[in-house]
Copies of this chain bind each other. A is one copy, B any other.
Amino acid sequence: MKQISTRFSMAVHILSLIAVNANEITGEYIAGSVNTNPVVIRRIMGLLKKAGLVDVRPGVGGAFLLRTPDRITLLDIYRAVNLLDDNRLFGIHEDSNIRCQVGRGIESVLQSELSEAQSAMERRLAQTTLSQLTAKFS
């Protein structure tokens, strides 16, 4: 199966760098640390900006957080870069045959069960802040 995109882990990496060195690092430097192309970094930065987590100084370069690192959770970052249809992690097949007893009921039952599972994951992500992460390698 396909894993959740590495955009997420790269975004955490990016924000960690900014948290540690606000306004001192360029996209070029970040790309060097993440070990990828600068455009990939800028794309993710665009999502983080759209989510209101960071801002960037165009022209001159350098980025800074719009919230303190203890108020940015992994869930905030996850939501910023992983845009899902209707915010549903699990895909559910549609158009089940409504003339079948199982086909009729399966969608709504699964919908609620799977959204519970998704919530459990998200609650765990919400428990960890950026400052807790950076504390582990500073």
Contact A34 B117 (CB under 8 A): no
CA gap between A95 and B1 in the complex, in Å: 22
A91-B121 contact given A20-B101, A102-B17, A109-B137, CB 8 Å threshold:
no
A123 within 8 A of B: yes
Q: Select one of B6, B84, B121 contacting A120, CB under 8 A.
A: B121
- Proximity bits, A110-126, B CB within 8 Å = 1, else 0: 10011011111111110
Contact A13 B121 (CB under 8 A): no
Q: Select one of B1, B95, B133, B136 contacting A35, CB under 8 A.
A: B95
Contact A1 B5 (CB under 8 A): yes
User: What does DSSP make chain A's interface, helix, strand, loop or mixed?
Assistant: helix
CA gap between A77 and B109 in the complex, in Å: 16
A10 within 8 A of B: yes
Contact B136 A105 (CB under 8 A): yes
Copies in the complex: 2
Query: Which residues of B have CB within 8 Å of A114?
Result: 9
CA gap between A46 and B84 in the complex, in Å: 29
Chain A residues with CB under 8 Å of chain B are 1-10, 12-13, 16-17, 20, 32-36, 74, 82-85, 88-93, 95-97, 100-106, 109-110, 113-114, 116-125, 128, 133-134, 136-138
- Residue pairs across A and B with Cβ atoms less than 8 A apart, 12 shown, are A4-B90, A6-B92, A13-B96, A13-B102, A33-B96, A33-B103, A101-B137, A105-B137, A113-B128, A116-B124, A117-B121, A121-B124
